[in-house]
Chain A
Amino acid sequence: MGIRILTAQMHIEGIQQLDVYRRHGGYEAFRKVLNAMSPPAVLEEVKLSTLRGRGGAGFPTGMKWSFLAKNTGKPAYLICNADESEPGTFKDRYLMEKNPHLLLEGMMISAFALEAATAYIYIRGELFYVHQILERAIGEAYAAGLLGKNILGSGFSLDIHCHPGGGAYICGEETALIESLEGKRGNPRIKPPFPAVSGLWDCPTVVNNVETLAAVPWIIQNGGKAYAAIGVWKSTGTKLMSACGHIRKPGVYEVEMGLPVEEFIYSDEYCGGIRNGNQLKAVVAGGSSVPILPAALILKTAKGEARLITYESLSEGGFESGTMLGSGGFIVMDHTTCIVKNLWNFTRFYHHESCGQCSPCREGTGWMEKVLHRIETGHGKMEDIDLLSDVAKNIEGNTICPLGDAAAWPVRSTIRHFRQEFEDHVNQKRCPFSK
């Protein structure tokens, strides 16, 4: 069993309660920061850790923090992105539900480093029961003097509030999230300016994912160097993988960066292999947006090296033969799965979730959904396959936010790796997998 940073305390009865959390070393890192560290010293540790954002983009957290505009005369804000809506991803929900104080402690330390006096947790509206768990934990923290004015006599003050979304995948995109937190429609903003310069209410803002922030207490307690020593090269520390689909043991697993994908899928410690003795067909490794890979390419790179759970290894081969770690939403499909129908389902999702601002995305996702439906139901023509690729290419790179790319990549990668299956649908005038 590898090292546990984010899930070490999950099994402890009552860990959601402040006193239990404290009894197991909780809030010691925050205490250490208040007693003995300066904001730049905290930033330095996070930089040394080379922690990368766990929301999907993998941007170095320390670097993001160092971009925060200083001396602007405006307050700085920290926002925790708990919108978790990328299909296949359910790790943030797990973390917040099981160990809310770990997230709060991570936010306290991060806000201290950023010299932010207010922080918000933007949590998807469907997760109101988790919102309630977080509010209870926040209430406990205020009562214990860990939040509010002049925390533990340190001179540092911080308020943390929860804010619910309203049901919109796009609000996970950080600028759409900020619009939504301001009480508006979730339309992404044109960047630059980046939130670090002009974010919430035009103030300097850092947006970080739940899992990113929850890693910070360990980094402070053990040092950035110790964190960087775990993992492989530029993928340091551990990653929460949400594993689902046709596996024997779906769930959230904390893995050390560098774990071979094959071990992750087949070991009883993790996914436990494919259900019902079936064969592995394909994997979407990082949430629905990342390119799908057939069994051979998810287990080994095109060069024949073992594929590892790291940012670099999963993207080895680029879009020709690789994919991305993304959010760590690991969706496994067995040989009974119709890949065309799966793609139609995902494309319908992106069409439904497009905010409608950019015409390539708004119209293109609708077209792709229609064409895929046509192929899946046996009414497609051979030209439709290239038409799909064309539409996807015309969306990619032509939108304000990456939702357009997220809709295009699954289409292009599915056609690249499973073209035969589209042709079978056209030739047989039916879905070969339908009973």
Chain B
Amino acid sequence: MEDQRTSFEFDKESLALVEKIIARYPPGKQKSALLPLLHMAQAEAGGWLSRETMDYVASLLKLQPVEVYEVATFYTMFNLQPVGNCVIEVCRTGPCWLNGAEEIIAHLEHRLQIKAGETTPDGKFTLKTVECLAACGNAPVMQAGIKYYENLDVEKIDAFLDDCSSKDATTRQNPYK
């Protein structure tokens, strides 16, 4: 992690959003804006939360850095290590398993030549398994960025991977923009 340090700051537009989000909570309760801000920061700071990024969010909300670390480490949506430009999250829970999630994961592992939890050497893709995405009626399911991909089969995955093949393809997106 040491050599991957990034210094990150929101741009003007994002800072205006930050103000808007903080105003949703009563005065003095700005800590409530932590999850929204971490989502924004992760999307804009390369898809993961470095210590510097978390410290920056702490300073925006007038929190101790440790208050941010303990939250970022609790929630599974936050990546605490660098990830690829396209992050694929495949559901592995019961209903998706009943409908072939294992084959879907195996196909992705084969196509990307990595195991779930890993990033391709070219930094393009990260493959993650996640728990039930509230889409079990359309199992198997995966998520990439904020988009859902449902009723998955091998063809749909191949089409998705083709879409991601351009050099600057990314699943990162500030969800508030």
Report which A residues bind B (CB closer than 8 A).
84-90, 92-93, 124-129, 131-132, 159, 161, 163-169, 180-186, 201, 242-246, 250-252, 284, 288, 329, 331, 333, 337, 341-342, 345-346, 349, 352-353, 355
Contacts and interface: CB of A to CB of B under 8 A. Distances in A.
Given A93-B135, A125-B77, A201 B94 contact: no
Given A184-B71, A185-B70, 20 more contacts: A87-B136, A88-B132, A89-B132, A89-B136, A93-B135, A125-B35, A125-B75, A126-B134, A128-B175, A159-B24, A166-B71, A166-B77, A167-B130, A168-B75, A183-B32, A186-B75, A244-B136, A250-B137, A349-B93, A355-B74
A131 B74 contact: no
A157 to B, nearest CB: 15
Contact of B135 (A90, A159, A164): A90
A361 B175 CA distance: 34
A331 B94 contact: yes
B75 A166 contact: yes
A245 B132 contact: no
Nearest to B148: A129
A88 B136 contact: yes
Contact of B74 (A85, A93, A128, A185): A185
Given A125-B39, A166-B77, A331-B95, A201 B29 contact: yes
Given A166-B35, A167-B76, A186-B74, A353 B175 contact: no
A183 B33 contact: yes
A346 B93 CA distance: 7
Contacts of A166: 35, 38-39, 71, 74-78
17 contacts: A86-B132, A87-B93, A87-B94, A88-B136, A89-B132, A126-B134, A127-B134, A128-B39, A129-B148, A166-B39, A168-B75, A182-B29, A183-B67, A184-B71, A242-B137, A244-B98, A345-B97
Q: How would you classify the secondary structure of chain B's contact residues: helix, strand, loop or mixed?
A: mixed
Contact of A180 (B35, B38, B67, B175): B35
Interface residues of B, number: 42
Contacts of B34: 183
Interface string B38-63: 11000000000000000000000100
Interface string B116-141: 00000000000000111111111100
A366 to B, nearest CB: 16
A214 B151 CA distance: 28
A329 B136 CA distance: 9
B75 A126 contact: no
Question: Which of B70, B74, B143 is the most central at the interface, judged by chain A CB atoms within 10 Å of its CB?
Answer: B74
A246 B31 contact: no
B131 A85 contact: yes
B94 A126 contact: no
Contacts of B74: 166, 168, 185-186, 355
Interface string B83-97: 000000000111101
Given A245-B98, A337-B98, A85 B77 contact: no
Contacts of A85: 131-132, 134
A284 B39 CA distance: 34
Contacts of A342: 94, 97-98
Contacts of A337: 98
A84 B135 CA distance: 10
B92 to A, nearest CB: 8
A244 B147 contact: no
A124 B146 CA distance: 12
Given A165-B75, A167-B76, A342-B98, A183 B35 contact: yes
Given A88-B94, A244-B95, A252 B137 contact: yes
B103 to A, nearest CB: 12
A53 B119 CA distance: 42
Contact of A244 (B61, B130, B139, B175): B139
Nearest to B70: A185
Nearest to A168: B75
Contacts of B78: 166-167
